[in-house]
Amino acid sequence: MHLLAGIGGLGESLWGYLIPFLFVLTVVVFFHEMGHFLVARLCGVKVDTFSIGFGREITGWTDRHGTRWKICWVPLGGYVKFVGDESAASTPDRRRLAAIPEEERA
């Protein structure tokens, strides 16, 4: 019986640690990504997206500079996406000048 009482308290302690951990992680990620965002803006790099979390968007807004600020469902990180940032996971944007072959550029 004593073992079952300990298992019942496991869920309470898990939530007692998990929620504060995710909150602190989100705050740390926000300031970390804000550093990337501010340096990019100071260097004249346009920012497409500032995201806290991954996955589908819960809520968001677009500022006057065209940056999409969003909060997503999986609170385990975040990212700042820059215009023209072509990583291996990105798909090339045919509309960008760098993506157009030289002979097609006017």
Which residue is it, tokens 């500022």? 63
Greatest alpha-carbon span in the chain: 80
- How far is it, in rounded angstroms, from Cα 67 to Cα 85? 14
Q: Find the catalytic residue in 33, 86, 103, 104.
A: 33
- With residue 6 as reference, give the H or E element that holds it: helix 2-42
Task: State yes or no: is 12 an active-site residue.
Answer: no
How far is residue 41's CA from residue 9's CA, in Å, rounded to a whole number? 48
List the catalytic residues: 33
